[in-house]
Amino acid sequence: MSRFFATGSDSESEESLSADEITPKATGTTFNKQGLLLSDEEEDTKRVVRSAKDKRFEELTNLIKTIRNAMKIRDISKCLEEFEQLCRSFLKSKTIMDKEGVPQFYIRLLADLEDYLNQLWEDKEGKKKMNKNNAKALSTLRQKIRKYNRDFETEIVTYKENPEQSADEEEEKDDIESGGSSAESDEDGGDDGVTAKSFMKKKPQEEEKKAPEASKFLKGAADEESDSDEDEDWSSDTEDSGSDSEDNEGTAASLAVAFLKKTLDGDKQADRKDERKKRHKKKERAEDDGEEEGGDAEEGVWEKVKGGVPLVKEKPKMFAKGTEINPPVVVKKLHEILQARGKKGTDRAFQIELLHALAAISVEHNLGEGISVKIKFNIIASLYDYNPNLAAFMKADMWKKCLDCIDELLDILFNNNNIFIGENIAEDSENLAISDQPFRVRGCILTLVERMDEEFTKIMQNTDPHSQEYVDNLKDEGRVCGVIDRLLEYLETKGSTEEVCRIYLRRIMHTYYKFDYKAHRRSLGLQGETKSEQDQEESEGDDSAFIMDRLCKFIYSKDRTDRIRTCAILCHIYHHALHSRWYQARDLMLMSHLQDNIQHADPPVQILYNRTMVQLGICAFRQGMIKDAHNALLDIQSSGRAKELLGQGLLMRNMQERNAEQEKIEKRRQVPFHMHINLELLECVYLVSAMLLEIPYMAAHEFDARRRMISKQFHHQLRVGERQPLLGPPESMREHVVAASKAMKMGDWRTCHSFIINEKMNSKVWDLFPETQRVREMLVRKIQEESLRTYLFTYSSVYDSIRMEILSDMFELEIPTVHSIISKMIINEELMASLDQPTQTVVMHRTEPTSLQNMALQLAEKLGGLVENNERVFDLKQGVYGGYFNRDQKGSYQQKQNYQRGGYRNQNQGSY
């Protein structure tokens, strides 16, 4: 029995009531007075029997809660673990899902989790800060959720189209279920002999009539009435505390009525549904609202509005009505707009619209070109400031607006010669009004164009180079170069020397890396295939070589800053090397002495220097200067960081070596993809050059204990090839070069030629050169000559004499060429032999040392090592000064012994 029906003294009931009011107990406590008073029958009725659906849904809900908690703390590994558990639980409840359908809360989690993972995936900085487990779990979970969501595509799309409606539907289902469960509990709660219906029957009929109309009143009023009823019940209980047991039973009955669920609850549920519907309709601004007008009076009187008509945003009023529009008023308004720049909460797009509106007003009222130029300057500056982050690039629409504004500004400057602009003009001395005096406007058009050029570079850096979007963006380079050419023409007449040098450098930077195919065709004497192509070639302007020469020479003579002149020299050398003008490029590099102090330059200039040296080496290779090509490429290729040194990408490094900020800075220095140098071509040229130098040297010094390496990278590739257990046909470019080196070592030039020049190598490397056939012919010639030298070094001890005709037939070389090669080897004391002119025979000399000579040579080597060790010990004992004074002598000693790096090159400069 409930405590309201328990018999006892009045004092006991009062004490129990007061105790319950002061310290309310939780419903879930096990040891309390009510628990002691409950009978076994009541305990049985309190048990809740749940269906399989409720159990499965509760299990899914708990897992979803865990996943959402893990999402809040960015614990991706926990998300992955719980998601797998969720998938297994969903699979177990498949039979229920087939009957009931997939619940909306499950669809909502799948959609939210996929969006959450995509957001984390796009946040590159956040991914770098993740630990290893979370990063691995992120990629795994992202793949799983994308694959898993394919089965629920339609439901997810429906949810994303209207997430609020789906949430409301789910709430309605929960309300219906909770209402049904409460009704069941009400029915179960009446097993004590007095049911809820019996209590409801005791109500007067007037209340029954009023009950259906309860929804017409406000919720607050209904609550007040119920509160007042309860107060009356409690007061009646306290007043009649000393009456009979029959009166106590009547009082208890009235109290039970007060604590039973009201009949108004069903109406409250209906009110809640109506409120949600109205809130949803209010958001959508729907037209139909007739059914719920009288259904709920909580929100007051609803007012009908027209739905579906878009609200037209009124243009901001720049000036009050009746204001006289003149230059001072417009300038004042311009300053008001500009004062909001940089402040928190300022809408940058709205600022740009205001400036455009102000420009239109100035043109409409004919306030003069000075005002228009002033506003245009500020519009372009606002477009640049639209992205506050330096690393961010301009969006396509902003970029087009920027180009259009600069073109309009240049049009105004070209059409009006009486406008003077410059950074040195103070704002007080500006003349913007129409008068006899020329317009004077503060601003620098050159700075705006330079910033435009930098923005174009950033757009190219941040676009996928293998997409069509990159090609579309690259088409804008013609427009950028057109703007630079127009500004160049303007500054040549009105700009200072420094400004002209700056704009010349911008033009050079857009020209130096482009190969002039039409000038190349004219140099070869080729003409266009059709008449239109011939006319187009004749009508075109000067060659790029002439333009580069004119611009660079002006900078050489007029520039006062080292940086602009250094960049111009490097671009000029690059352009010469690109067009196979080897001697001009080499002489300009040697005269500039840039290699002496380039390490003190800023990183972008160093990247340009590395690119120039690489292009110089490739040019030397095309011209057959193998040793010069190897020397030019040695520094870049031996470092193993060619990609990074050329500004064509970043290598993976630890966070200790490079933090996130340094990585951002280095990414901004990267060269756009269309300016890249092919790294595979570069490596192939270097390895082939090293092969042509290293293989004859290895053959000549086969038994030399002090033999050094010319190219460490080439020797590394040879060792990798030797370590392979199974030698198959070569696949990669490196394997081709290693196989060719082994063939050359044996003097087999035909096999070497077949490995270096074939269809695969042609498509990968040699076809990328402008003069492909000439490069192939040069390579064949060099392979024949170096194979001849290697053959003589390797097999000279076998022959007593050999005729030059045999060597000429063997290596398919002319007899004068064979004679020249052997003569050089004899002069440089590389080959111990003599030439017999009448018979055209090479006579070998036996130069095998005797045992005494061998012992003398070993003694000389040991004495040399002893002297070197003694000098080292002496330097350590004497300190810094002892080593300092003996440094020159030690250097001369090393030079005599040819210990220093590059001794082979210094010794054999004239060998071939």
pLDDT tens for 724-768 read 887 888 888 999 999 999 999 988 899 999 999 999 899 889 999
Please answer whether residues 620 and 580 qualify as being in contact, where contact means their C-beta atoms are separated by less than 8 angstroms. no
Which residues contact residue 118 at a Cβ distance below 8 angstroms, ignoring those fewer than 6 apart? 142
Distance of alpha carbon 96 from alpha carbon 668, whole angstroms: 56
Q: For position 623, what pLDDT does the model report?
A: 92
Q: For position 702, what pLDDT does the model report?
A: 76
pLDDT tens for 888-911 read 444 444 443 443 334 333 434 443
Q: Which of 595, 550, 547, 545 is nearest to 570 (CA)?
A: 595
| Residue written as token pair 């009957």 | 99
Distance of alpha carbon 845 from alpha carbon 843, whole angstroms: 7
pLDDT band of 790, cuts 50, 70, 90:
very high
pLDDT tens for 337-363 read 888 877 777 888 888 888 988 888 888
pLDDT tens for 486-534 read 999 999 998 889 999 999 999 999 999 999 888 878 877 765 555 555 5
* DSSP of 287-338: S--STTTTT--TT--------SPPPPPPPPP-S-TT----HHHHHHHHHHHH
Q: Which of 498, 501, 398, 416 is nearest to 452 (CA)?
A: 398
Beta strand ranges found along 482-566 (DSSP E): none
Distance of alpha carbon 576 from alpha carbon 888, whole angstroms: 39
Residue 206 φ/ψ, nearest 5 degrees: -65, -40
pLDDT of 188 higher than 50:
no
Query: Which residue stretches of 646-745 are H helix?
Result: 660-668, 679-700, 712-723, 733-745
Tokens standing for residue 241: 């505390």
Q: Tell me the C-alpha to C-alpha distance, in Å, between residue 720 and each of 294, 702, 748.
A: 88, 20, 22
Please answer whether residues 443 and 377 qualify as being in contact, where contact means their C-beta atoms are separated by less than 8 angstroms. yes
pLDDT tens for 287-317 read 444 434 443 433 445 555 555 444 444 455 6
Please answer whether residues 890 and 872 qualify as being in contact, where contact means their C-beta atoms are separated by less than 8 angstroms. no
Mean of the per-residue pLDDT values for the chain?
A: 76
Q: Tell me the C-alpha to C-alpha distance, in Å, between residue 49 and each of 43, 182, 336, 528, 887.
A: 13, 14, 72, 92, 97
Q: Which of 462, 430, 453 is nearest to 443 (CA)?
A: 430
Tokens standing for residue 72: 């809040």
Q: Which of 887, 531, 870, 461 is nearest to 675 (CA)?
A: 461
Distance between alpha carbon 795 and the CA centroid of its chain, in Å?
58
Please answer whether residues 351 and 382 qualify as being in contact, where contact means their C-beta atoms are separated by less than 8 angstroms. yes
pLDDT of 204 higher than 50:
no
Tokens standing for residue 237: 């209980």
Please answer whether residues 623 and 576 qualify as being in contact, where contact means their C-beta atoms are separated by less than 8 angstroms. no
Distance of alpha carbon 464 from alpha carbon 673, whole angstroms: 9
pLDDT tens for 573-607 read 999 999 999 999 999 999 999 988 898 899 999 99
Query: Which amino acid is present at 454?
Result: E
Burial class (CB in 10 A: 0-12, 13-18, 19+), 578: buried
Residue 678 φ/ψ, nearest 5 degrees: -65, 115
| Residue written as token pair 């380079």 | 477
Q: For position 507, what pLDDT does the model report?
A: 94
pLDDT of 867 higher than 80:
yes
Which DSSP letter does residue 833 get?
E
Q: For position 193, what pLDDT does the model report?
A: 41
Which of 320-335 are b and which e, b meaning 16 or more Cβ less than 10 Å from the residue's Cβ? eeeeeeebeebbebbe
Query: Which residue stretches of 765-885 are H helix?
Result: 772-795, 804-811, 815-827, 851-878, 880-885
Q: Which of 483, 348, 358 is nearest to 411 (CA)?
A: 483
pLDDT tens for 311-345 read 444 455 677 776 778 888 888 888 888 888 777 77
pLDDT of 191 higher than 80:
no
Distance of alpha carbon 277 from alpha carbon 270, whole angstroms: 11
Provide the sign of the torsion angle of the four alpha carbons 353, 358, 364, 370, taken in this order.
negative
Q: For position 671, what pLDDT does the model report?
A: 93
Tokens standing for residue 849: 């040392």
| Residue written as token pair 């129990």 | 16
Q: For position 771, what pLDDT does the model report?
A: 85
Q: For position 201, what pLDDT does the model report?
A: 42
Distance of alpha carbon 683 from alpha carbon 714, whole angstroms: 10
Of the listed ranges 267-281, 705-719, 725-739, 845-859, the one predicted with least confidence: 267-281
Three-class SS state of 419: strand
pLDDT tens for 367-420 read 888 888 999 999 999 888 888 777 788 888 889 999 999 999 999 999 888 888
Q: For position 257, what pLDDT does the model report?
A: 45
Tokens standing for residue 643: 């990609």
Three-class SS state of 678: coil
pLDDT tens for 797-852 read 888 899 999 999 999 999 999 999 999 999 998 888 999 888 889 998 876 666 78
Q: For position 519, what pLDDT does the model report?
A: 82
Q: For position 909, what pLDDT does the model report?
A: 41
Please compute the mean of the pLDDT values over residues 460-467 and round it to a whole number. 91
Distance of alpha carbon 389 from alpha carbon 667, whole angstroms: 14
Distance of alpha carbon 824 from alpha carbon 819, whole angstroms: 9
Please answer whether residues 149 and 114 qualify as being in contact, where contact means their C-beta atoms are separated by less than 8 angstroms. yes
Evaluate if pTM is beyond 0.95.
Answer: no
Tokens standing for residue 442: 């503060």
Q: Which of 814, 805, 810, 804 is nearest to 834 (CA)?
A: 804
pLDDT of 855 higher than 60:
yes
Residue 654 φ/ψ, nearest 5 degrees: -75, 160
pLDDT > 90 in the chain, percent: 31
Q: Name the residue with higher pLDDT: 11 or 757.
A: 757
Q: For position 552, what pLDDT does the model report?
A: 94
Which DSSP letter does residue 518 get?
H
